[in-house]
Amino acid sequence: MGDTQHRSAHAGTGGTTVATSHEGPAGASARAAEPSGTPGTPGNGLGGGGGLPRARAFGAERAFRGLTLAAGTAVLVVIAAIAIFLIAKAVPALRANSESFWTFEGWFPNDDPPKFGIGALAFGTVLTALLALLIAVPVALGIALYLSHYAPRRLGNGLGFVIDLLAAVPSVVFGLWGRDFFQRPVADLSAWLHTYFGWIPIFGEGPYGTSILLGSVVLAIMVLPIVTSLSREVFRQTPTANEEAALALGATRWEMIRTSVLPYGRPGVIAAVMLGLGRALGETIALALTLGSTYAISFNILQTGGNTIAANIANRFAEANDTGRGALIASGLVLFAITLIVNITARAIIYRRREFTESAA
């Protein structure tokens, strides 16, 4: 075919110019308009407007995602492996047990036939931990509020550092201190409580010495830095605008804390308390040195006695035979289940509280 003339107006002269082009197959002009570079890739020319470059198959983002997924999966695998191990080792001893594992108040796994039960140990574990939290949490919250909203910054930082140091003290040191030094003052306190409050069932008669009260006081001192540190950091995260708004409306310092700081920090405080509860449930050496190693369900926290699952494992493992070790592992399985229930409950409480706060906002 011949050449085709295209007439167009020239912007500069107002005249016309004639452009000559050759006809070609369909798509030829599109291919001719492609910029130099990778054929068929839009946006490689000077005109821009193309898409983003294709992500590499094994980039840093995908590697990091795989690493985090592997880490999270590893935690679940470890928990499942621990549960499988405990169940596998506990089943033979549970089958050989001649008494009810849940209700029998005694521990004789080395006898023939073996007899042992978890009821008294589980009761002592929960009672000691709850009593320790009852003592530690009010003190910890008071210290946290003082350090975050009342104390001068330099003094608050110094006291906070000293309290954090308590978490670094080994538990055996607390246990020896409680048994050799603190036992006498707690025995005197027990006698005083029985004299004036003996009508309350938990303040029964003696003898006084290594008791639930002594173990709970020592355990409360051990839990104190955990709850204090976490609560202090949570209270410091309260938005300054909330605090200043309460003060601008004429609220006192305490009213500002009650209406702005405590509601904002409640989920964090619950998490701190539950973390302290988990620490208290699993404590071993300190309670092995400060409890009386008895196997009875009693609400009398002053009388010599008391025992926990972890303390019983520490005291009985050396003398246990095959069945005895299986019985101790079975008790560890119960403690493992209690800890999981506590953590799941804490997460559920925090999640529901967060949902309520977000819906209210």
Residue 25 lies in a domain: no
Euclidean distance between CA atoms 135 and 230, whole angstroms: 17
Which of the pair, 16 or 274, is modelled with greater confidence?
274
Ramachandran class of 100: left when φ > 0, alpha when ψ lies in -120 to 50, beta otherwise: beta
What's residue 59's pLDDT? 78
The pLDDT tens digits for 122-142 are 999 999 999 999 999 999 999
For residue 208, what pLDDT is reported? Answer: 87
d(CA 287, CA 179): 10
Q: What's the pLDDT at 31?
A: 45
Residue 269, CB-side half-sphere exposure with 13 Å CA sphere: 20
Residue 24 has a pLDDT of 47
Cβ-proximal residues to 263 (8 Å cutoff; 6+ apart), any chain: none
198, part of any domain: yes
234-255 pLDDT tens trace: 999 889 898 999 999 888 899 9
Q: What is the DSSP string of 5-56?
A: EEEEE-TTTS-EEEEEE----TTHHHHHTSPSSSTT-TT-STT---PPPPPP
pLDDT at 214 over 90: yes
Side-chain-side CA neighbours of residue 88 (13 Å): 6
pLDDT of residue 108: 93
What domain range is 72 assigned to? 64-359
Instruction: Quote the number of domains for the chain.
Output: 1
Residue 11 falls inside a structural domain: no
Residue 282 lies in a domain: yes
Q: What's the confidence (pLDDT) of residue 48?
A: 52
Residue 38 has pLDDT above 80, yes or no: no
Chain mean pLDDT for the chain = 83
Q: What is the pLDDT of residues 292-346, one digit of tens each?
A: 888 989 899 999 888 999 999 999 999 999 999 999 999 999 999 999 888 888 8
Residue, of 30 and 121, whose pLDDT is higher: 121
Domain of 217, CATH number, reads 1.10.3720.10
* Whole-number pLDDT of residue 33: 45
Residue 42 domain-assigned (yes or no)? no
Segment 94-98 mean pLDDT: 92
**Above 80 in pLDDT, residue 143?**
yes
E-strand spans in the chain?
A: 4-9, 16-21, 107-108, 115-116
Measured CA to CA, the distance from residue 137 to residue 273 in angstroms comes to: 7
- Alpha-carbon distance of 275 to 303, in angstroms, equals 29
Judge whether 111 lies within some domain: yes
In a domain, 9, yes or no: no
pLDDT at 351: 75
- Could you report the per-residue pLDDT of 163-178, keeping only the tens digit for each? 888 888 899 999 999 9
How confident is the model at residue 36, as a pLDDT?
47
Residue 55 inside a domain? The answer is no
